[in-house]
Amino acid sequence: MTTYPTTRKTYSVPQAATILGIGKAKAYEWARSGELPGVLQIGTRFLVSRRALDAYVNGETSQEKGVS
């Protein structure tokens, strides 16, 4: 039997926008341009690494592409 973590390791772009205090459209713009830290693109879907975004918000790292 496979068990899955109860806490997701990614945020959706709208969730990331809320955390950053920016609009959803701006967050998608940043995700497409690479300005949003920790973005993973799977097909047409964007996910944001929880670890990378939390570190960015806490000032622990500069903006990075991909997972840190």
The string of DSSP codes covering 5-46 is: -SS-SEEEHHHHHHHHT--HHHHHHHHHHT-STTEEEETTEE
| Residues 10-49: tens digit of each pLDDT | 999 999 999 999 999 999 999 999 999 999 999 999 999 9
Distance of CA 29 to the CA centre of its chain: 13
pLDDT for the residue 5? 67
Average pLDDT over residues 45-63: 89
